[in-house]
Chains A and B, each alone.
Chain A
Amino acid sequence: MTKDKKNPNELLYITSGEMYQPYRYTLSSLSGRFLTEIKEKKKFLGVKCPECGRVYVPPRAVCGRCYARMNEMVQVSDEGEVVACAIVEFGFVDPSTGIERPVPYGTAFIRLDGADTALSHFLDCVDREKLKVGARVRAVFEEERTGSIMDIKHFEVID
């Protein structure tokens, strides 16, 4: 409980303390296959809508536009194109880890060749001339992979 020294009449406030409230989220079976493929083969899978033919990465069970159930997994490339991007420079605490996200870092939505949607990930580049819409990028994988999206270390600009 803290009192404002400059204005002793101002109300007291408390902090929540170091909150500890971990969650355990369920990964869908399609997403599990997607991460397993990255972990074991360093390859990307999407899921194809049987009605409109759109290929979704990351995969999910329902095509929202057609409301069709999807289960056909198709391989897509580990290379693709930046559809939108930013270079994050301001500092903030990552709520998932409780530590400051290292800045600056490149972030982008990447449409892998063969996919219709884009995957969000880190870029190893903070050069404003290189990290831009339309840039070609390729996935760089971690040596030790655990079955998370961070098995992709980042994407690198290849042109």
Chain B
Amino acid sequence: MGRRAAIVGFGQTKGSSSRRDVTGVELINEAVRAALADAGLGIGDIDAVVIGNMDHFEGVNYVDMWSVEGSGGVMKPVFKVTTGGTTGTSVAISAYYHVASGMFDRVLAIGWEKNSESDTTGAIITAYDPFWERPNMAGAIGGLAVDASRYMHDYGATERDGARVTVRERLHALNNPFAHLQQEWMRGKDAVFLVDALVASKENKVLAYPLRMSDMCPRTDAAAALIFAAEGTAEKIAPIPAWVLAVANRHNFVYYGDLDWSRNETLEAAAKKVFATAGIREPLKEVDVCELYLPYSYAGLAWMESIGFCGPGQGPQLLWDGVTDMDGELPVNPSGGVMSSNPIGATGIIRVGEAAIQIMRKAGTRQVGKDVNVAMATGFGGCYWADVMLLGRKKPV
């Protein structure tokens, strides 16, 4: 298990389609300053830095080197972590390992991306196998459309079910001043009305059948930073630290063709592991809020089943019953989630940070109405890799 550790600070920049007013280094610096201010610390208090993004999205490698002035890493131990979509959650897990190992007391975890600086679809394609996968791959949109085809086939899920996930995420985003997509036209409207509007809209073009524009996440410029601290230090920094209860990460295959498309095997295994570690037997009852890496609509159905919040094929029912809305039994993505902001390397940090501030009661207008004792954050990336972090109000035993 290692030494107990907690999140004591979180900072992020507002998501935007293009931050042309700053360089990547300056963007990173904004997030780091916000996290330090949140924790009431100075850069001198930081013992080590973990940073991550997808280098080839900006086409500048060695982010750990060239960002060092913005990250605050000058003459400190700096580690770079890059694991695809899971980069942010892997950075957070790595920072946690730094503290849990006993080697460092206060560790800064940074994720960032400036998607506006390149073509995201092209960049994603170059992450895959040149012989077998690149020739017909269509980036995240094509891959996720394939994923949707299987779930819809297996369980008869409909376009309306997908749109209901989108509606939840975009309504929640209206409570989050940092969310990239702010769909003001949706404010105050009924979920069923909004689902009908998305499905009927002619502007809502098909990108890759069965996915339409409203089913996908945006491309976002943003940075985010977390501060992890060891037991004994954390309590002095934060009035309510968000304790790390358990982490798990699972990688599986080389090629997409190797996957069993009817399930998300890595997320199943990682969720099972953290629940076992934390002694959680009934996830739907015992987890109070989630920040899940759902990059597209149907993930909000299928992956709820993978985590074990409901049985196979029951995702749509859980959703339509309102269980995952802000006032439901298990609010999912009070921040608006990945479908409202996706600055790839920062996205996982934001999931963990948003889960943490629900415990710390610092979520402001997006704070859920109930007590939060256990919060869950996930990351998704690569060839269906999964990261999961479980946070708690109480220290783990």
Contact = CB atoms under 8 A, between A and B. Distances in A.
Contacts of A133: 149-150, 153-154
Q: Chain A: interface secondary structure? A: loop
B208 A87 contact: yes
Interface string B208-238: 1111000000000000000000000000000
Interface residues of B, number: 45
B131 A105 contact: no
Contacts of B209: 86-87, 89, 128
A83 B256 CA distance: 11
Interface string A3-23: 010000011010010010001
Interface string B1-30: 000000000000000000011100000000
B290 interface: no
A119 B132 contact: yes
A105 B141 CA distance: 13
A128 B210 CA distance: 9
Nearest to B125: A95
A114 interface: no
B20 A11 contact: yes
Contacts of A117: 255, 257-258
Nearest to B148: A86
B122 interface: yes
B133 interface: yes
Interface in A21-77: 23, 25, 27, 31, 56-58, 60, 64
B136 interface: yes
A88 B208 contact: yes
Interface in B124-146: 125-126, 130-139, 141-142, 145-146
Interface in B286-324: none
A131 B117 CA distance: 35
Given A84-B149, A89-B207, A92-B122, A109 B256 contact: yes
Given A92-B139, A120-B133, A149-B132, A64 B252 contact: yes
- Most B CB within 10 A of own CB, among A90, A149, A150: A90
Contacts of B132: 58, 119-120, 149
Nearest to A120: B257
B254 interface: yes
Contacts of A145: none
B206 A89 contact: yes
A90 B255 CA distance: 23
Contacts of A60: 254
Contact of A120 (B153, B205, B256): B256
A86 B125 contact: no
A88 B135 contact: no
Given A89-B206, A92-B121, A83 B261 contact: yes
Contacts of A134: 153
Given A58-B132, A84-B150, A85-B146, A109 B252 contact: no
A121 interface: yes
A84 B136 contact: no
A109 B206 CA distance: 20
Interface string A121-150: 110000010001110000000000000111
A84 B130 contact: no
Contacts of B261: 83-84, 109
17 contacts: A25-B130, A84-B150, A84-B261, A85-B149, A86-B145, A87-B206, A87-B208, A88-B138, A89-B209, A90-B138, A95-B122, A108-B146, A109-B261, A117-B255, A121-B136, A148-B131, A149-B135
Given A27-B131, A109-B146, A120-B256, 20 more contacts: A13-B20, A19-B59, A23-B130, A64-B254, A84-B146, A84-B147, A84-B149, A84-B150, A85-B149, A87-B208, A88-B142, A88-B207, A88-B208, A95-B123, A95-B134, A107-B138, A107-B142, A119-B132, A120-B132, A121-B136
